[in-house]
Amino acid sequence: MNLNTHVMLALAVGSVLFHPMYAVVLVGIGAAIPDLDREYVFTPRKVFSRYQLHRALLHNLFVALGALFFNFYLGVGFLLHIALDFLTSPTDRGVELFFPLGRLVRRYELSLEGAPANTKGFLWYLEDPVSLVYKTADPGLKEYTPTAWRRVYGPFKNGMLIDWAVFYSSLIFLLMYEAYLGNLYGWVTAFLHTAFIRFALLVSGIIIFYGVGEAWRRRIQFTPQVNRNYVLVVVGIALLLIAYQFSKLYLPIHVGGYLYLLGLSACSLSLGLIISFFQIKLRYKRVVM
């Protein structure tokens, strides 16, 4: 989904769930961060195509949970971003929900034509639709060889009807919700003050990073006369702004009363995986995810 859609949905959800404006703004900022895993690290496009880092590096549950424990509101924004991208098509590469663990499984049960692959070990049930991705995805998202399936896809195309419908619906809902509460003007002024004054360094850093990153992705990397060092300096400044204000946002969730539930869940999941592994292995002689 488009970045504006991610942020607008996060602001609408944050306004309903949380009352302090700083919390609402942090949810919006959290929803803006995951797309920084595009080729904004200024590596060649072919490198990104080879390793498929977009929709993986910052679009997985492990990073989202880490963000949740670092700052609860940022983590909520992360999760909302991943949930939206979860709905996008193979062309947009969906999300790699369990990166990097999913990459330990390198083979698949069925070929693109549905024929048994006759392989052993840990297998995905299907592989990525390589032909479709190669023909329709952005250059940095193409896969040039068959790759074991590890992405989760939905039915919707990035930047099309549902994407913009979520954006406008979230905007309309936010305006109507705050107007119903009689607080629309107060919400707008509080939002502008919080986003562009209280969190000015963080927001500015993200805007600069995205702006330069998009320019790099679309044009600069193909323009030999541009001095790459100048670009890296600007990006470095943006990262310093982000890191500086991030260092002041540590606000973990309090899990003291729920530690036994976390331990119980981890134990149950581990035992469940072990039992199911032996069941599938004994019955089918192979383990299909």
What digits encode the pLDDT tens for the residues 17-64?
A: 998 999 999 999 999 999 988 767 667 677 777 788 888 899 999 999
167: left (phi over 0), alpha (psi -120 to 50) or beta: alpha
CA triple 36-38-41, angle to 5 deg: 80
Which of 40-44, 140-144, 159-163, 214-218 is predicted most confidently? 159-163
Query: Phi and psi at residue 35, in whole multiples of 5°?
Result: -70, 0
**Could you say which DSSP state residue 37 is in?**
G
- Rounded to the nearest integer, the mean pLDDT of the chain is 87
Instruction: Look at residue 9 and tell me whether its pLDDT is greater than 90.
Output: yes
Q: What are the pLDDT digits (tens) for 61-102?
A: 999 999 988 999 999 999 999 999 999 998 898 999 999 888
Percent pLDDT > 70 in the chain is 94
Q: 279: pLDDT confidence band, cut at 50, 70 and 90? A: very high
123 pLDDT band (50/70/90 cuts)? confident
pTM for the model stands at 0.89
- Determine the angle formed by the axes of helices 184-193 and 161-180, rounding to 10 degrees: 110
Instruction: Assign 144 a pLDDT band (cuts: 50, 70, 90).
Output: confident
CA angle 224, 229, 235 (to 5 degrees): 115
pLDDT digits (tens, 9 = 90+) for 181-195: 999 999 999 999 999
What tens digit of pLDDT does each residue of 225-275 get? 777 788 888 888 999 999 999 889 998 776 666 677 778 888 998 999 899
162-179 tens-digit pLDDT: 999 999 999 999 999 999
Give dist(CA 165, CA 154) in Å, integer. 16
- What pLDDT is stored for residue 134 in this prediction? 82
